[in-house]
Structure 1
């Protein structure tokens, strides 16, 4: 039993399943980032554009699940992050459609590499990812999450504006890959109750006004 702001609470089997689903979804996001970034570091090397799109949208799905399951006390912020995600997902679908029609770039990651302005379309989804990193960094004091909060937007802005040369962009992307891999891996070292937070706050929020 854990003490809470409004009442004592305990961890249920459903809580454990939800927390593990959240952690797995973050791992999916991390693997997607690594897979999509491999094209930049390894080169084209016969990479299949459809495979890259599959990796990209699998990661997008993982982020969507994570944003559904993440525990945040301030619900409007969570909804805003979900709205950013939805906008970025819609933009990603649009980029995928454009890439398939023009044959330019072949996949979403390849198209964004070739057309920096496409960052405007996919960027909101990565802003949502940055929000997840901020929440995790603030709540648990994780250095890799605090770094991700700066590295993710810096990488996208560097590509969008063209202010950084290719080597700097690769350095930022490589740093992003390392940080998100560490972030996803370290989630499994936390106690389940830490990922839940103060469950009594969520119990209270779900009550009817007369029950409160």
Structure 2
């Protein structure tokens, strides 16, 4: 069991019903890891709450807070979050790297498979790729699933919705492959290209991808992610409805490939802490409702005191 320690400010130490020396084992809302959440006593804590409260009831901004204070805790940099200081643990680094590897796997698999639309018939490379289209589809689907499992989203319901869309897309893809594509001896991707109505079955998978890139664009202001948010559904809906000619579809498909590659590559230029977000929020979300309420009341008291 991986453990991490998040120190909350001394203002929380006296918040009922949490004792000042209490250590709570809690589960991270964004993964299966268990953390030990400690509430230091007011006499031993060297931290003070300096972040402005930017949340409303039931709503917290998506973007991780900028660094408001830095210190050293067991050799690690400490960041000030909404609910207290936190540090990046080795397990956090592993999760973020796996999240990014999942995105790269999805992007590369999609680009290789989609390249057959631009290669001439009889091309050796195109023939090799067409023989393994189902393999690339499976690899891309698995990579996307890994990223959706590890993605850090403050609102758990949104994360679960994206994961459910992915699951429906997998079920629809398998059903389409075994009941429709395989009997006629073609790959799933080829069947969807030749039968636009099949988009209904595989569409949820790409809806989950659209949600992921939308989150990335919203949180980090990435242009390529914002463009992908519109590009992906446009291509699929254009193919489904038949209102888009092949030339336009190829142009949009090519831009999808280029944007997806840039999107996946640029993930490795971000600091690890950006993909983690504000870890103190995940710790807060994992607390029982009674203790959440107590902490929020204490924060409001601190805010009122600081405004005087």
Q: TM-score range by the shorter chain?
A: over 0.9
- 2:106 paired residue number: 29
- 1:201 paired residue number: 281
SS at match of 1:3: strand
State the 1:47 CA deviation. Answer: 3.7
For 1:94 and 1:181, locate their aligned partners in 2 and report how far apart those are by CA, in whole Å: 29
For 2:187 and 2:203, locate their aligned partners in 1 and report how far apart those are by CA, in whole Å: 16
Determine which structure has the larger helix proportion and give its number. 1
State the 1:136 CA deviation. Answer: 0.1
For 2:205 and 2:120, locate their aligned partners in 1 and report how far apart those are by CA, in whole Å: 25
Aligned residues: 210
Where does the alignment leave 5 or more consecutive residues of structure 1 unmatched?
none
SS at match of 2:80: coil
**Higher relative contact order (Cα pairs below 8 Å, separated by 6+ residues):** 1
- 1:20 paired residue number: 97
Is the 8 Å Cα contact of residues 213 and 226 (structure 2) preserved in structure 1?
Answer: yes
Q: Deviations over 1:18-58 (max 9, x none)?
A: 00000000000101110110121114542465511000011
For 2:242 and 2:108, locate their aligned partners in 1 and report how far apart those are by CA, in whole Å: 27
- 1:99 paired residue number: 181
SS at match of 1:9: strand
TM-score by length of 2: 0.66
Is the 8 Å Cα contact of residues 39 and 47 (structure 1) preserved in structure 2?
Answer: no
- 1:85 paired residue number: 166
For 1:36 and 1:26, locate their aligned partners in 2 and report how far apart those are by CA, in whole Å: 15
TM-score by length of 1: 0.95
State the 1:207 CA deviation. Answer: 2.5
Query: In angstroms, what is the RMSD of aligned CA positions?
Result: 1.3
- 2:188 paired residue number: 108
For 2:91 and 2:291, locate their aligned partners in 1 and report how far apart those are by CA, in whole Å: 23
Task: Specify which of 62, 66, 89 is matched with residue 143 of structure 2.
Answer: 62
Where does the alignment leave 5 or more consecutive residues of structure 2 unmatched?
1-77, 293-308
Q: Which has the larger radius of gyration?
A: 2
Is the 8 Å Cα contact of residues 169 and 201 (structure 2) preserved in structure 1?
Answer: yes
